[in-house]
Amino acid sequence: MSIAKRLASQTAIYGLSSIVGRVLNTFLVPVYTARFAAAEYGIVTGLYAYVAFLNVAFTYGMETTYFRFANRPGTDRHELYDRVMTLLLLSSVVLTAVLAALARLLMSLLDLPPGHERYAVWIALILGLDAVAAIPFARLRLENKARKFAAIRLANIAVNVGLNLFFIVLCPEVLAGKYLVGLQPLVASIYNPTMGIGYIFLSNLAASACTLLLLGRELLDFRFRLNLEPLRPMLQYAYPILLMGLAGTVNEMLDRTILPKWLPDGFYPGQSKQAALGIYGACYKISVLMNLVIQAFKYAAEPFFFAQSTEKNSPRTFALVLKWFTLCCAMLFVGVSVNLDIVASVFLQRPEYLQGLAVVPVLLLAYLFLGVYWNLSVWFKLTDKTYYGTYLGFAGAVLTVVLNFLLIPLLGYMGSAIATLACYFMMAALCWWLGERHYPVPYPVGRLLTWLAVAVGVVAVSWWAPVAAGWARYGFHALLTLGFIGLVAAVEGRRLRTI
């Protein structure tokens, strides 16, 4: 198999395991919003936001560092694997123990009621298990064992989703006598109705433990080697990666960690702060539909960009890719935002969650600009000036913190959504401006901004036009969606056929 074909094949396999996981986790949202009140789901949203930060801290850039040092000439890969695993195993045990010991204190700092300490313990175990699994997964990628990598990832997803459905859907309905009545004694012996959202964390923990079992061959091949001297260069290399990861996580997750802290009491009448967080978190999940498209595109386009970099007409090719990527995302933005009442009926199963729907178009547009930024970032990747990515990430993090601080007290979770949009728009704009100076590409910026303005206008009309509810409104929204798609096809279709 040629290098290009092998790369494309492995990219597809790695992409499948990642995207399937995101899709299935997104489609668990209807299950959660049907079974749990917004205040309960707010606890899940908040804790998993902290998990995103802690994941970065638990691995502290060692996965990328392992790749970098394993490909240096003369490196004994097996010895390197042992040393990195030793370091990560020790740090994971220490961090897990500290988090578990401080469970009660941490829950009180997060303003969660007593009785939730076990969630912190389970999350600490999840983080520890996932951190230990990171280097064996990296070894599989280094050894080009893409199929085994994807198979284990998919098994993790299957266990997590399966246990969620078993404990949150099947067990309650069996006990309620809806079906499989003969299994009631068995279900009653293993299911605790008072556990509630705890089963979300337990399912995750079981999936993480299962993953380690499936990585048994890689773990049994590990030998404990504690020698700090050779690790110093790796830690120096990993330190900037840790900072970049934290900056990216701030841009992605900060709003869900600080919303309950900075939201004024009684901002939403009759709702607690945790309920507001739950509503925002559930609505945020709908906007992830745009991110799924970006992730799928990223897995396909990343090797393409590097392969095209040596071609004479590569700048024109990059401009063409960005144009059609943006137009496709604009059509998705219009399709979801205009028909949000239909989409919401699938994802949000309780009326209380519908109060936050206004943030969805804002977050969809934010993710669109994140995708644009990813396309534009090709210039600093091809010129080996990746430190610009660090600068842009930290600039976005600062703007995210400042705008959340200013806007949450005034606009509630809409302020967080606007902060996310402003962050990704600024990062995309700065990346384009810097790229024009270091690696000029003839991007049709004016044309694309015009199309995005038209898309925003169509969404605004759909939200504020005085059209009666029911089939008339559905028909009007369908016409708006098809009209925008038809306009894009009419204006840009001829160019596409020429290409």
Structure-token pair, residue 157: 């997803």
Domain of residue 73, residue span: 13-227
Domain shared by 377 and 302, yes or no:
yes
Binning pLDDT at 50, 70 and 90, where does residue 304 land?
A: low
Distance of alpha carbon 12 from alpha carbon 32, whole angstroms: 30
Residue 198 lies in a domain: yes
Residue 247 lies in a domain: no
More confident residue, 260 or 229: 260
pLDDT of residue 57 exceeding 70: yes
pLDDT value for 314: 79
pLDDT value for 228: 62
The most confident of 35-49, 106-120, 369-383, by mean pLDDT: 35-49
Amino acid at 228: L
Domain shared by 330 and 463, yes or no:
yes
pLDDT value for 237: 77
- Judge whether 287 and 363 are in contact, CB under 8 Å: yes
Please give the average per-residue pLDDT across 460-471, as a whole number. 77
Domain shared by 295 and 394, yes or no:
yes
For CA atoms 439, 444, 449, 451, give the dihedral sign: negative
pLDDT value for 70: 78
pLDDT value for 6: 56
Last residue of a domain, one of 180, 202, 227: 227
- Write out pLDDT tens, residues 267-298: 999 888 999 999 999 999 898 888 888 877 77
Q: What percent of the chain has pLDDT over 90?
A: 41
Q: Specify the range with the lowest mean pLDDT, choosing from 23-32, 161-170, 304-313, 344-353.
A: 304-313
Q: CB burial class (10 A; 0-12, 13-18, 19+) of residue 171? A: buried
Domain shared by 164 and 310, yes or no:
no
- Judge whether 257 and 49 are in contact, CB under 8 Å: yes
Domain shared by 216 and 329, yes or no:
no
Please give the average per-residue pLDDT across 355-382, as a whole number. 90
Please give the average per-residue pLDDT across 319-347, as a whole number. 90
Domain shared by 498 and 387, yes or no:
yes
Binning pLDDT at 50, 70 and 90, where does residue 306 land?
A: low
Q: ∠ CA(108), CA(112), CA(117), 5° rounding?
A: 70
Read off φ and ψ for residue 101, nearest 5 degrees. Answer: -65, -30
Residue 237 lies in a domain: no
Please give the average per-residue pLDDT across 148-158, as a whole number. 90
Kindly give the residue spans of alpha helices, DSSP state H, lying in 117-197.
117-142, 146-165, 171-175, 184-190
DSSP 257-320: HHHHHHSPTTSSTT--HHHHHHHHHHHHHHHHHHHHHHHHHHHHHHHHHHHHTTSTTHHHHHHH
Domain shared by 138 and 20, yes or no:
yes
Domain shared by 438 and 366, yes or no:
yes
- Judge whether 134 and 63 are in contact, CB under 8 Å: yes
pLDDT of residue 36 exceeding 80: yes
In sequence order, the 6+-apart residues with CB closer than 8 A to the CB of 111 are 260, 261, 273
Residue 232 lies in a domain: no
Distance of alpha carbon 203 from alpha carbon 159, whole angstroms: 7
Residue 280 lies in a domain: no
pLDDT of residue 67 exceeding 90: no
Domain shared by 223 and 293, yes or no:
no
Domain shared by 372 and 498, yes or no:
yes
In sequence order, the 6+-apart residues with CB closer than 8 A to the CB of 67 are 138, 141, 142
- Judge whether 305 and 318 are in contact, CB under 8 Å: yes
Residue 7 lies in a domain: no
Distance of alpha carbon 58 from alpha carbon 135, whole angstroms: 12
Distance of alpha carbon 294 from alpha carbon 370, whole angstroms: 8
Domain shared by 342 and 455, yes or no:
yes
Question: Which residue matches tokens 């840009």?
Answer: 492
- Judge whether 107 and 120 are in contact, CB under 8 Å: yes
More confident residue, 101 or 499: 101
pLDDT of residue 383 exceeding 70: yes
Please give the average per-residue pLDDT across 117-138, as a whole number. 92
Burial readout 255-287 (b: 16 or more C-beta within 10 A, e: otherwise): bbbbbbebbeeebbeebbbbbbbbbbbbbbbbb
Domain count, the chain: 2
Binning pLDDT at 50, 70 and 90, where does residue 244 land?
A: confident
Distance of alpha carbon 175 from alpha carbon 183, whole angstroms: 8
More confident residue, 15 or 204: 204
C-alpha atoms less than 13 angstroms from C-alpha of 103 in its C-beta half-sphere: 16
Q: Mean pLDDT in the chain?
A: 86
Read off φ and ψ for residue 406, nearest 5 degrees. Answer: -80, -35
Binning pLDDT at 50, 70 and 90, where does residue 9 land?
A: low
Last residue of a domain, one of 227, 251, 267: 227
Domain shared by 315 and 430, yes or no:
yes
More confident residue, 106 or 402: 402
Question: Which residue matches tokens 């959340």?
Answer: 404
Residue 277 lies in a domain: no
Q: Specify the range with the lowest mean pLDDT, choosing from 155-169, 300-314, 343-357, 473-487.
A: 300-314
DSSP 478-498: HHHHHHHHHHHHHHHHHHHHH
- Write out pLDDT tens, residues 185-202: 888 889 998 888 999 999
Binning pLDDT at 50, 70 and 90, where does residue 1 land?
A: very low
Residue 244 lies in a domain: no
Last residue of a domain, one of 209, 227, 245: 227
pLDDT of residue 313 exceeding 90: no
Binning pLDDT at 50, 70 and 90, where does residue 4 land?
A: very low
pLDDT of residue 169 exceeding 70: yes
